[in-house]
Structure 1
């Protein structure tokens, strides 16, 4: 860390250990080179210390705002070859292009994260699927995926609503049929006759009476 943040610079040590410092610096410098995007290597390829690389990257990416975008755009449009060679001119221009592209990619990722994190929890599965994609999709592609998931949810919800309505109608029809039919609780042959069933039956029926002729006559009660 001292080689990166400048607290362990070469001139701070005696010359007898400069060789050791150079070896350690080469190792840390290789770590940094292997950690950045390949598109940014051209801007730091000629750096001699890890501190120089870290300072350059910090200045370029520590603050990503509109003023830096404007400054990059101005530098790109105003850069001229001048007295330097074509190779140096092109390297400088490409470095500015790479930084601008990295800035745009960073802003696009921020937009994607903001869009996904603001979605309702019902889109958790789709959101996880998008974040696991490598490389991350554009914001337009992610939007299309979420809209497709939303449409699918609407179709499933509609089918479930229709099924629930049909089930309610079926249950209502069954209940109506049962109330108009011969229910088990009113069937005396199954549940048994009440104690006064026979006496009521006699009263509600007809009883014969006999006249002087001995012929039976019926009196309706």
Structure 2
């Protein structure tokens, strides 16, 4: 943590401790749990993660302006507001890479930081980026990967497309639902198109339905098919091993000794040449031709 952020934290520490609304005085007090820091190229992903994290901590109003700054005459309320705002400012600054945070370190409030970053990096819809992401979807194939690995990569691209696409304004919820269904159907097609040929059967069953399931439901069905195949392949392996063992026993029965001219053993184990094994005992009711010795 930089010296500047340390100064802000220590200046407000006593006020935060006195406020019942703060319960973050642990080792992660000044940090948000975000999957990746803002580096200037990932604004939409960063903004979504940060907004969700701050909302979960009950402080979203400090970056949206809903939690308004109190009147200067109310000193206790002002002290508490400044303490909370300083902490949210730290969350935002510490969720950026060192190279980026320098441009926003001295913004006066958390809302000012949030809006400054948005004004600089929110490009709305970027047609080139959306083209690249959609092209990746249609070219992506399962290949040698497991179904889950293929699905996770595809779902990650879909999320990036959603984050970089402006939400449409619909006249009614029904129109919005129709549009969402069309998007989901396209994603089902993309997922099925990239599956290996070995999944032709389950792919055909899904496409033959009058109404396509959601992408998540389609993935679950394909995953069950893949799991079923793994389970069924194990007995097959045991059968093959059993057949190999039987084949070895059959081959052993076809052995022939070039010394005594008998079958069932070879010259290396012939009793006429090497004698019986020390622990050999005759089997009751059974005798083998190559075990009989004339005296």
For Structure 1 versus Structure 2, the TM-score category normalised by the shorter chain is 0.3 to 0.5
* Structure whose residues are more often strand by fraction: 1
Q: State the TM-score, normalizing by the size of structure 2.
A: 0.31
- Higher-Rg structure is 1
Choose between structure 1 and 2: higher helix proportion: 1
